[in-house]
Amino acid sequence: MSTLTPPRPRTGGRSTPRGSFVLRLGERYSLLVRPRTLLVALVLLVVSAAALVVSVSVGDYEIPLAAVPAAIAGVGERLDVFFVQGVRLPRALTALGVGAALGLAGAVFQSLSRNALGSPDIIGFTSGAATGAVAVILLVGGGRLMVSLGAVAGGLLTAGVVYLLAMKNGVHGYRLVLVGIGISAMLTAVRDYLLTRADLTDAMGAQIWMIGSLNARGWPEVVAVGVSLALLGPVLLYLGARLRFMELGDDTARALGVDTQAVQVGALAAASALTGAAIAVSGPIGFVALAAPQLARRLTRTGGTTFVGAALMGAALLAVADLVALRALAPTQLPVGVVTAVIGGSYLIWLLYTEWRRGRA
């Protein structure tokens, strides 16, 4: 009988951690439910909802918070409805969708590599998607759909190359990270060369896109990222149970009936496509995929990767970062990629410092 959670050692005669309970999903599957994880998920949902409401309220045209729900429903002052439904709500929903997609993809990559640095930002998949999109912008001059397809294709192609180069008796974390860093450096060089050969106007447009921004995002972007999450999210969550088994070791996973190579290929392809779709909508927003899974794991205090928690954390992080970009840092709006770079870089420095202190202790 298979389960959705990897087996855990018994502690004090108990088969589940203290305070947890098992939820049966039919005859073949069960789910280990942790109250702390549920509480963290609820808090993240509240933070995301609060950030959404505040973000549609602030701006050059201020809307009272009390009037926001009515404007979202399409009633109230005409200007309120126009700014909320036509301008600010799509941007806020895009931030939530892109953040959730990057958080989930980052959790998959970190689980596959079994490495805290195994995120799309570090191991080249973000660079691959960005290079594909920039190539379409500069060489083809395609519209939004072509740029989106170029980003997804670039991410998938990079995933295939990294997987083939890192594969030797299975994909191991350190090889995946090292190969990904090398491929990322090569792709950055290609992207920079394309910028030097492009017209000034096209190069400036591509450079602005590469910063990562949610400015002027509308309902088409909301639909695009929503469809990507609806199609690829369930696939990754389904594979997530098997990835959790693989975190115990490939030999253990194979003994439990997991086809490790098929799971690796499927998870890598789906996560790369999801990364490409998110980047196509917003540009390469950095550090969300790196920080969200780790923050979710620290808050929930789980031993393995938490995929739903990473998605919720990514959504909350990007929604809050976009709100900061809107109002808090400068008189004018900043690209949200600048804010996430500051937050993510600070988190990475703190993480390295704590690891250094732990090593000296």
pLDDT at residue 44 in the model: 95
The sign one gets for the Cα dihedral 95, 96, 101, 102 is positive
Same-domain check for residues 193 and 279:
yes
- Section 88-93 average pLDDT: 93
Range with the largest mean pLDDT of 59-68, 118-127, 158-167, 345-354: 59-68
Same-domain check for residues 295 and 319:
yes
- For residues 19 and 47, the model is more confident at 47
Same-domain check for residues 3 and 55:
no
Give 296-356 as a DSSP string: HHHHHT-SS--HHHHHHHHHHHHHHHHHIIIIIS-SS---HHHHHHHHHHHHHHHHHHHHH
pLDDT at residue 14 in the model: 43
Beta bridge partners of 124: none
Same-domain check for residues 9 and 90:
no
Which residues, in sequence order, are CB contacts of 196 under 8 Å at separation 6+?
Answer: 203
Query: pLDDT tens for residues 231-241?
Result: 999 999 888 88
Instruction: Look up the pTM and report it.
Output: 0.85
Same-domain check for residues 9 and 77:
no
Same-domain check for residues 137 and 4:
no
Same-domain check for residues 21 and 106:
no
Three-state SS for 212? coil
Structure tokens at 137: 């912008």
Same-domain check for residues 133 and 15:
no
The enclosing H or E element of 163 equals: helix 144-166
Give the least confident one: 10-19, 72-81, 111-120, 188-197. Answer: 10-19
Query: pLDDT tens for residues 286-333?
Result: 889 988 998 898 888 877 778 999 999 999 999 999 988 876 555 567
Domain that holds residue 256: 34-360
CATH number of 344's domain = 1.10.3470.10
What band does 206 get if pLDDT is binned at 50, 70 and 90?
confident
Same-domain check for residues 227 and 256:
yes
Phi and psi angles of residue 157, each rounded to the nearest 5 degrees, phi first: -65, -45
Same-domain check for residues 26 and 69:
no
Same-domain check for residues 182 and 298:
yes
Which residues, in sequence order, are CB contacts of 47 under 8 Å at separation 6+?
Answer: 316, 319, 320
- Asked if residues 260 and 254 have their Cβ atoms less than 8 Å apart, the reply is yes
Same-domain check for residues 8 and 68:
no
Structure tokens at 93: 């929903």
pLDDT at residue 46 in the model: 96
> Could you give the number of structural domains in the chain?
2
